[in-house]
Structure 1
Amino acid sequence: MEYKSLGRSGLSVSRLCLGTMNFGWKSDEAESHAIMDLAHEHGLNFFDTADIYYWGEHRGKTEEIIGNWFAQGGVRRERTVLATKVYEPMGEWPNEGRLSALHIRRALDASLRRLKTDYVDLYQFHHIDRETPWDEIWQAVDVAIQQGKVLYAGSSNFAGWNLAEAQAAAKAKGMAGLVSEQSLYNLLTRTVELEVIPAAQRFGIGILPWSPLQGGLLGGIVQAERTGRRRLEGRAAETLEKRRPQIEQYEALAAELGHKPSNMALAWLLHQPAVTAPVIGPRTTNQLLQSFSALNLKLDQQILERLDVIFPGHKPAPEDYAW
C-alpha cells in the first residue's frame, strides 16, 4: 500500500479510502466487518463514513457497524484514520441538522457514541451551510479540537469559493482550516477541475473523489449489459444512454490495454496530482480485492491523453472559457 499526506497536514493516509456508505444497506454487518478486516490486511488505513449513512429511519446505523468492529479490539481503532461527516438532518426538530455550533456539538458526541471511540481523525462538513457564519463553525470545531474529540477538519461538496472563504475565516482565527475536500470527481464528471481543484491546490487541501466509478458507469457496464450480468435503472440508465458512445470507447480502450475498466478509472484518479485518495465503496470483500489492483496500474502520458480525448476535461477557470 502507498501512503500520502492528507493535504498539507502531516497525516499519512492510504491512496485508497474505504467508503462505508453501503454498510448496513447493501452489506450486512458481518460482510462489513470482513471488508474492514481485509482493508487492514492490505494496509488500507483510511475509512470514511457519515452520521447520516444508512439513511432514513436507520440513519446512524453505519457508524454503529464501524463502532462494533472497533469494539473487537486488536488495534483496529489505532490503525484507522477515521473520517465522518456532519450536516444532514438527524431528526425532525430544529437544530438537528446543518452546521450550527449546537448541532456540531450534539452530532459529534452522537457519532462518537455510535463509533465507540473518543475522537475522530477527520471531521468533515457534508455540505456548505449558507446560513451559519464561518466564525461560528470554526469556533465549534476549535472547541472540539481543544477537547481532543477532533484532530482535522475537512469539507465535502464545496465550491471553490467556499474553500477560499473557509480558509480565510480559519486563518483569521489562527486555525489550520480544511485539510481535505471530498468531491464528485471521475472521468465522466470533471467539473471540479474548473475551480475546486485549483482552489484546493492553492490552499493545500487534498482531494478525496467520491463516486470514482460514477455509480458503476465506469466499471464495465456495457459489457455487463451484453452478458446480462447487470442492468441500470433510473438516472444511471439515462446517463448511460446519453454517454454510451464515450463509455463504449472507454471499455474498448481498457480491453485493448488488458485492464479492468474499474481499475483504469481508479488509476486515472491516482494519476491526478491534486488527488489524495479516491473513496471506494465495495459491497463485498471481492470488490475490495479487485480495487487494490488499481494501485499498481501505471498509465503513461499517451494513455492519459487518449482518455482526455474520450472524456474531455477542463482547464482551470477562467482560461477554460476565456483568455
Structure 2
Amino acid sequence: MRSGVVPWSPLAGGVLTGKYHRSDLESSSAGGGRSSRKEVAAGNRFLTARALDIAAVVKDIAAEIGTTPSRVALAWTLINPAVVASLVGARTLAQLDDNLGSLQVELTPEQRARLAEASAVDLGFPHETLRRLSSSR
C-alpha cells in the first residue's frame, strides 16, 4: 500500500501568491467595522519573515517564466513525488482558473533548486551537530 501527502494551504494563506509585503508584518492599529488589510494580515499565521523570503523567490521565478506566483508555488508543490493532490482554497472562479494553470507550469532544475534552498528547513540541534561530525570524517 502506497501513501501520499495532500498539502493543506499550499499557498500559505495567500503569502505565496505575492499579496503580502514586509509592511504587513507590522501590527495594525486600525479600527472600525470592517477588517483592514493589516488586521487580516495580522491574523494570518503563515505570514512570517521567512515565508516572505520564500515568496520573493516564488515571485522572481514567476516573473522569469511569465506566470503568476500562485501557479509557481502550486507547480512546485505538485512536483514532489509524495504529493498526490493539493487542497487549494480558491474563493473565486478567477483564483480557481489561476490555480489550475499551475498544471501547465514547468520549472527548470535550477528554479527547483532555488525554491528548495529558499524553503529548506533548519533542523537545528542535534541534526546540525551530527551533520558537522559526519562531514568531518
Deviating above 2 A after TM superposition, structure 1's stretches of 4 or more consecutive aligned residues are 230-233, 235-250, 318-323
Post-superposition offset of 1:245: 3.6
Counterpart of 2:101 (choices 293, 300, 313) is 293
Letter in 1 for 2:42: G
**Structure 2 counterpart SS, 1:221:** coil
**Alpha carbons of structure 1 residues 292 and 238: separation in structure 2 relative to 1, 3 Å:** closer
Post-superposition offset of 1:321: 6.7
Counterpart of 1:312 (choices 113, 120, 128) is 120
Letter in 2 for 1:265: A
Match in the other structure for 1:214: 12
Contact 1:250 1:310 in 2 (8 A): no
CA distance in 2, matches of 1:237, 1:313: 17
Mark the structure with the bigger radius of gyration. Answer: 1
**Alpha carbons of structure 1 residues 278 and 233: separation in structure 2 relative to 1, 3 Å:** same
Higher percent of residues as strand: 1
Q: Across the two proteins, how many residue pairs are aligned to each other? A: 115
**Structure 2 counterpart SS, 1:209:** coil
CA distance in 2, matches of 1:284, 1:276: 23
Match in the other structure for 2:86: 278
Higher percent of residues as helix: 2
Contact 1:213 1:266 in 2 (8 A): yes
Structure 2, unmatched stretches of 5+, are 24-36
Deviations 1:188-229 (A, max 9, x none): xxxxxxxxxxxxxxxx21111101001000011247x8xxxx
Structure 1, unmatched stretches of 5+, are 1-7, 9-203
**Alpha carbons of structure 1 residues 298 and 242: separation in structure 2 relative to 1, 3 Å:** closer
CA distance in 1, matches of 2:48, 2:86: 22
What percentage of aligned pairs have identical amino acids?
Answer: 32
- Tell me which of the two structures has the higher relative contact order, counting C-alpha pairs closer than 8 angstroms and 6 or more residues apart: 2
Post-superposition offset of 1:307: 0.9
CA distance in 1, matches of 2:85, 2:55: 23
CA distance in 1, matches of 2:100, 2:73: 13
CA distance in 1, matches of 2:96, 2:110: 28
Contact 1:222 1:248 in 2 (8 A): no
Q: What is the alpha-carbon root mean square deviation over aligned residues?
A: 3.1
CA distance in 2, matches of 1:276, 1:243: 23
Contact 1:209 1:278 in 2 (8 A): yes
**Alpha carbons of structure 1 residues 239 and 284: separation in structure 2 relative to 1, 3 Å:** closer
Letter in 2 for 1:312: A
